[in-house]
Chain A
Amino acid sequence: MTTWHDFLLREGKVPDWPYPVNYDTGQEIEGDVLVVGGGIAGCWAAISAARCGARVILVEKGDTIRSGAGGPGCDHYCDIPTNPLSKVDPDEWAREMTGPYTNGIGTQIQCREGYDTLLEYEQMGAKIRDDKDEYLGVEGRDEKTKFLVSPRQNKDHCRNTVLRVWGSTFKPALKKECKRLGVRIFDRVMVTGLLNEHGIPGNRVVGAVGFNNRTGEFLVFKAKATILCTAGNHSLYVLNTELSGYNSFRSRTMTGDGFAMAWRAGAELTLMETTGPLVLGLGFRHTWYGGAGDASYENVQLVDANGKKLPIPTQGWRDGSMPDAFLRLLPTIREGVLKGEYALPFYGDFPAMPPEEQRATWYMMLREESTSRIIVDTYSAAGFDPAKHQLMSYQLLEGDSPKQWRVPGRGGVLVDWNLRTSLEGLYAAGEQMFAARDHSFCAATGRYAGRKAAAYAKEAAEPVISAEQVAKEKKRIYAPVKRSSGIEWKELHAGIGRAMQYFCSEYLTDSLLRLGLQTLEEIEEEYVPKLYALDPHKLMRSLEDLSLLTHAKIIIHASLARKASSKLLDFYRIDYPEVDPQEWNKYIVIKNENEKVVTRMLPQYFWGDMKKNYEAHNQDYQGVYRGK
């Protein structure tokens, strides 16, 4: 018996809810630093703040042991130019990686401190080297350090800024270290709202409230400093909640809670108008390495059905390309297919690789990356052998991807050189920041935000929370469990997704965006008061819908504010067709002030001289952890 209906048919009743349900009870927890979100950035923030002597609270919606996008694994540790094999200057590489609409602050931190986080992962017991000599002979393997350098961005070994790692060992190591340091971890707790001093949005942030998504218990967290480490939002445009293999990089739990909380607390956000097509696995496409996205063919040459090589640079040593090469070349390849130049389907030609590279790619790189270990294992058990077999690619088999299936882009919380947001007491790290990057970015910025927040907490006044704000949020949280009919989270989710697909998708105009806003406001007024949830889990999904709704509105407000098109932002206004005009080559900063939308502009590279500012703010940086 494994399924719910097996149980029902055998027992003649549905299973009881397995956890005690206590919607009305609660507790208040106090600390110096509160970390919201226990993914890569959140765990690092908690560890770093605890190592600075702070009393740390870490709150996570799933279980910290494997939660977040980086929970299952990570195969590449990127942009760590202080590693001993690097051939580039860290500050120069940070500048190189910092084009328009990027995050120069986070990138500088990643380039300076990312390698230190990798060494600290090793201290915690995670695996970062080929210390058992399993991959002797693989190109890029260094005998002295036993590091495996990646060919990513590394034509002819010219840079060595990316290392291949055993990232499936990372997340359990982080949780163990949090526990060792005495971090108080609250797993299965969804934080829904930040608390401002005197309950007034825009004031200092003094904690947060949330509830346990198994028991329904209400929790109030009071802290001198709060670090927002929640993730992005990958389901905003998705209508169907039963799409299996939902997204190969992001799970159902990433629903823009952080954007919504920051907005309601009065923090400034930027780049919120950016969205892009959802290119990775989404239910009706195959999951990564099963095919969708086809960045999986990193290092593996793609051939057509007749064995003819496709003109796609793999990320091998001779071309050292980026993972988006396939997408950039897709129009040319599509044309070739229609002319009969290339025959469908395509295959990843593992057997054409040298044996040690086959092994390193299939058994190490792919097996350590995100959710693909289980793909490698099940395919291997079913007989797939990289020495003999070519793996099918599903690109172009279904025609063009529907472009209305989008994901929010680079939007996030605006931060300064302390990774402090525009609100006193509130810090942000990882994917919650604007223009965030990858795993090592999240680790490095989480660790940085942790020590900055701890330093602030040492000097800060005692936090005072507003009972009125707590009561208001409690009422908002539990409203859906007071009803048993109306609209359920799945339908509400789809309704929000539809509004975004119609009115905030590939084609944008002022009137379409306003129609979108009108629809979302109507949903808020008419349907949210009818939202019902039958148990604490469904209550979580319901509250996530409310995050989606707020996030959707922020995206539309920011889109209305940008009256220009931009290739760099993949943002096209039919009513303002000029692409990237000079006067709009700026960041739009947006916030909620007394229920009014307020915007301002920031110039490109507003963070100033990256090297100088980093050094000015980090004269006391201690390097790799030496404590016990």
Chain B
Amino acid sequence: MTERKAVALPNLVTPNTPVIFNPDKCVGCNHCVEVCQIDVFIPNPEKGNPPIILHPDECWYCGCCVNDCPHPGAVKFNWPLQQRGYWRDKETGEVFRLK
């Protein structure tokens, strides 16, 4: 196992990953940074890379960052665990949950 250096960090705000960027598809255009009304993101210091999630605790899950992304597949919504809902198949009764 690769040894990982431990650093002294305060507890992280949670949940802290409202979206997951795909670095292969995201070109760092920062459109999501602009459409977010509360500044969840900041631009990455390295141009062309996905933005950094700085204020995830303020996210209201409006989805505009994903809805308006001009590069399909570059950013995926990631519902917090406690917000993942349920549905069932009317015929079989099998219950599913958003994974």
Residues of A that sit less than 8 Å from B by CB: 1-5, 7-9, 15-16, 18, 61-63, 65-68, 71-72, 168, 188, 213-214, 241-242, 244-248, 250-253, 284, 286-287, 290-291, 345, 347, 349, 351, 370-371, 373-375, 377-379, 382-384, 388-392, 394, 537
Residues of A close to B83: CB separation below 8 A: 244-245, 286-287, 290
Report B-chain residues with C-beta under 8 Å of the C-beta of A242. 13-14, 57
B residues contacting A by CB (< 8 A) are 7, 9, 12-21, 23, 34-39, 42-43, 45, 49-50, 52-64, 66-68, 77, 79-80, 82-91, 95-96, 98-99
Question: Which residues of chain B come closer than 8 Å to A7, judged between CB atoms?
Answer: 52
Residues of B within 8 A of A378 (CB): 77, 79, 98
Give A133 to B67 CA distance when docked, in angstroms: 23
How far does the Cβ of B76 sit from chain A's closest Cβ, in whole Å? 9
- Name which residue of chain A comes closest to B57, CB basis: A242
The answer for the CA separation of A616 and B92 in the assembled complex, in Å, is: 64
Known: A3-B52, A245-B61. A391 touches B37 (CB 8 A): no
Complex contact A374–B61 (CB within 8 A): yes
Q: List 7 A-B contacts (CB under 8 A).
A: A2-B52, A16-B45, A242-B13, A244-B15, A252-B58, A347-B88, A391-B85
Contacts of B55 in A (CB 8 A): 537
Q: Assuming the A-B contacts A65-B34, A67-B37, are A351 and B52 also in contact, with contact meaning beta carbons closer than 8 angstroms in the complex?
A: no
Across-interface contacts of B42 in A (CB, < 8 A): 15, 18
* Contacts beyond the supplied A290-B84, A537-B55: 10 A-B pairs with Cβ under 8 Å: A7-B52, A9-B7, A62-B38, A250-B60, A284-B82, A287-B61, A351-B90, A371-B62, A378-B77, A382-B96
Contact partner, B62, options A1, A2, A241, A374, Cβ 8 Å: A374
Knowing A72-B67, A251-B60 are in contact, say whether A388-B89 is a contact too (CB < 8 A).
yes
In the assembled complex, how far is the CB of residue B4 from the closest CB belonging to chain A, in whole angstroms?
Answer: 8
Q: Tell whether A251 pairs with B62 under 8 Å between CB atoms, given A213-B39, A374-B67, A378-B77.
A: yes
Shortest C-beta distance, A274 to chain B (Å), equals 23
| Complex-state Cα separation, A158 to B32, whole angstroms | 43
* A333 to B16 alpha-carbon distance, docked (Å): 37
- CB atoms of B7 and A8 under 8 A apart: yes
> How far is the CB of A164 from the nearest CB of chain B, in Å?
19
Interface secondary structure of A, over-half rule: loop
> How far does the alpha carbon of A253 sit from the alpha carbon of B88 in the complex, in Å?
36
* Nearest B-chain residue to A19, judged by Cβ: B42
Residues of B within 8 A of A66 (CB): 35-37, 62, 64, 68
Contacting residue for B60 out of A252, A373, A389, CB 8 A: A252
CA distance A284 to B62 in the complex (A): 17
B87 touches A390 (CB 8 A): yes
Q: A66-B64, A371-B62, A373-B63 are in contact. Are A379 and B39 (CB under 8 A)?
A: no
- Contact with A2, one of B13, B17, B82, B91 (Cβ below 8 angstroms): B17
Docked CA distance A15–B46 (Å):
10
Given contacts A371-B63, A382-B99, contact A244 B34 (CB under 8 A): no
Q: Beyond A66-B64, A244-B82, A378-B79, is A389–B89 a contact (Cβ under 8 Å)?
A: yes
Check A72 against B90 for contact (C-beta < 8 Å).
Answer: no
Residues of A within 8 A of B86 (CB): 345, 391-392
In the complex, what residues of B have CB within 8 A of residue A214's CB? 39
* Chain B residues positioned under 8 Å from A284 (CB to CB): 82
Interface centre among A18, A250, A349 (most CB of B within 10 A): A18
The reply to whether B67 and A379 form a contact with Cβ atoms under 8 Å apart is no
Contact A373 B52 (CB under 8 A): no
- Asked if A383 meets B96 with Cβ closer than 8 Å, knowing A63-B37, A244-B83, the reply is yes
Closest to A65 in B: B35
CB distance from A206 to the nearest CB of B (A): 28
Minimal beta-carbon separation of B41 from chain A (angstroms): 9
